[in-house]
Structure 1
Amino acid sequence: MSHRFNLGWIGLGQMGAPMAERLLGEEVNLHVFDLDPEVMGAFVDKGAVAHASPQAVADAAEIVFACLPDPSVSERVAFGPDGVATGRKIRLYVETSTIGNGCIQAIGIELAKSGIVTIDGPISGGAPAAREGRLTMMVSGDPDAVAEVTPWLSRIGRQVTCLGPRLGQAQIMKLVNNMVMAANMVVASEGLSLGSKAGLDVVAMMEVLMTSTGSSRALTEILVRALHPGTDDFGAHLSIVQKDVSLGISEATALGISLPALDAVRGVWTAAAAGDLARQDLTCILRYIEQQAGTEVRAG
């Protein structure tokens, strides 16, 4: 191979690890950092190079991707002590985390001081889709930079949609998507709980819903996993959805928009996350709504 690309990846969690894995290959030197040495060790076994900090990754790679849990971590990784801003080699920084419009713009401004171009690149699809390369990739930012990273994004996901030239446009789209998904999950859970309380069979309810106007991917691909014991395993914590819905409401407030239905949805996710379900799979929103209804929704 005449040329090997030096790519970096920071954050090897539930989503980051399967995404980063899709960049491994003979033509790529993949430089990684995560707080979990065991996870980094697994990547070293697959041919990656482990580093001691985000800065060290940015010293080694021209294009660095990040997949991180919340805005404060994203800011620390970008321009905190040992952040990528002080890296010697990095040119492009692709933030795939869901952190909101204000945070991605702040990162863009700070990294630009070091001559680094930031690309807004949140993703949707969940851990199963990440493992199978089926993610939807949303991207916004400088058109030339977006064009340069698009081949790598296409390797991670099956669809790459450019939302515009401004940082934050992809973040807003991701929040819109997650808010709609969160609302669909709450409404479907409440409907199933109502039917169950009235004595309807869950399999029969699903048969009708999946072929009728009440259908949604939130029901047929996500919530369906909670209908059988032991299958609450979509792969993202309930608290992540609560965070995203709250971020979306904050963006709406900043724009002077009232979203009463989605604000009510936020209340449901916030109440669920306040208990012992916060670190459980997002499909456990059904468990919370069952508790409120005093019923159980189970196939069989």
Structure 2
Amino acid sequence: MSTNLTRIGFIGLGQMGAPMAERLFGPDVALHVFDPRPEGMAPFAERGATAHPSARAVADAAEIVFACLPSGKVSDAVSAEVASGAAVKLYAEMSTIGRPAIEAIARRMAAAGIAMVDAPISGGPAGARAGTLAMLAAGAPEAVAALRPWQLRIGARIFVLGETPGQAQVMKLVNNLVFAANFASTCEAMVMGAKAGLDAGTMLDMLNAGTGRSMVSEKVMETILSGEFRFGATMPILDKDVGLGVAEAQALGVPVWVLEQAARLWRLGLIEEGAGADVSRLVRVMERWAGAEVRR
């Protein structure tokens, strides 16, 4: 085996993590992975990655470790294991967990002498598979620079938000709050049009030709019109992100009246559709109340 290989670890091989980790395969990388689901690691082991029994084991083997995890609680537990690793020198936390959580993890890594980059991503599962994700970064300039080539292997563009971990988290929350509110309002408006007798396909075409155009109308609504409901993210993820965003706004003393209402709607969607439901099923909440469906 070449001695010029960079040993990279990836923890969390879910809907976002797995396609991102796949993009790190290459002749210049020795990839080390961990996920609590053995079936999540199996495809990586088949391609030559080393599957480990724990996050700590990954940090004992890899000098750069990425983590993409579902919640702040999981991220905190994983970071405690990574901070004890024998090999890790740079830790990239890609999860959306909010500023207070990332600041606590940054303090833990600093105490262990490990550089850290607050590095959430945006673009959804489709963007992860296509390599078109927007990559965010906040941390010491040398750490951000060291992570940059690997972020560019995963995604398409890097946005550096500052030198303090937490700043990238706030930017990610800004993005997700806009997406969540836009998603809810687009669904409500199109259900109104459907109840009035408008053709769903014509409505969508007109939105995308007019001022109502957005990522939601261009990339998400078609999966609703087709009845497939396959955006790729589940209700708890967006419910979590909206809750984190509203909490950040409250901590900053910023009024977010529209976003608070959107947060209530996403929580209702989670309750009515269930934890395993795709986020596109939010429209079903409005459809049931209106007695109309938005379908081709």
TM-score (norm 2): 0.98
Partner of 1:98: 96
Deviation of 1:42 after TM superposition, in Å, equals: 1.2
CA contact (8 A) 2:272 2:285 kept: no
Q: 1:285 deviation in Å?
A: 1.1
Structure 1 letter corresponding to 2:242: V
Superposition deviation, residue 294 in structure 1 = 1.7
- 2:261 aligns with 264
Q: Structure 2 CA distance, aligned partners of 1:245 and 1:289? A: 19
| Between 1-10 and 28-37, the greater mean CA deviation after superposition | 1-10
Deviations 1:169-205 (A, max 9, x none): 1000000001100111111001100000000111111
Q: Which residue of 2 aligns with 1:251?
A: 248
Any conservation in 2 of the 1:277–1:284 contact (CA below 8 Å)? Answer: no
The residue aligned with 2:132 is 134
Unaligned runs of 5+ in 2: none
Unaligned runs of 5+ in 1: none
Distance 2:212 2:223 in 1: 17
Query: Does the C-alpha gap of structure 1 residues 90 and 166 become closer, same or farther in structure 2, counting only changes over 3 Å?
Result: same
In the other structure, the counterpart of 1:279 is 276
Find the aligned partners of 2:164 and 2:242 in 1 and give their Cα distance.
22
Q: What SS does the corresponding residue of 2:7 show, helix, strand or coil?
A: strand
Match of 2:105 in 1: 107
Measure the CA separation in 1 of the matches of 2:221 and 2:92: 30
Deviation of 1:9 (Å): 0.3
**1:217 & 1:277 partners in 2: Cα distance?**
24
| Residue of 157, 162, 165 corresponding to 2:163 | 165
Q: Deviations for 1:63-104, whole angstroms, at most 9, x for unmatched residues?
A: 00000000000000001xxx1011001011000000000000
Map of 1:211 onto structure 2? 209
Q: Which runs of 4+ in 1 moved over 6 A?
A: none
Q: Which residue is 1:185 aligned to?
A: 183
Q: Equivalent residue for 1:56?
A: 57
* Deviation per residue, 1:102-129 (Å, 9 max, x gap): 0000000011111111110000111111
Of the three residues 84, 87, 91, the one matched with 2:85 is 87
Q: Percent identity?
A: 47
Work out the CA distance in 2 between the residues paired with 1:157 and 1:109. Answer: 27
Distance 1:136 1:290 in 2: 32
- Give the match for residue 146 of structure 1: 144
- Which of 125, 148, 153 aligns to 1:155? It is 153
CA distance in structure 2 between the partners assigned to 1:235 and 1:285 by the alignment: 13
- Check conservation: 2:201, 2:225, Cα contact below 8 A: no
Cα offset, 1:2, TM superposition: 5.6
2:47 maps to what in 1? 46
TM-score relative to the length of structure 1: 0.96
Q: Which residue of 2 aligns with 1:242?
A: 239
| Matches of 1:275 and 1:283, distance apart in 2 | 13
Do 1:6 and 1:60's aligned partners in 2 also have CA atoms closer than 8 Å? Answer: yes
Q: For the Cα contact (< 8 Å) 2:273–2:281, is it kept in 1?
A: no
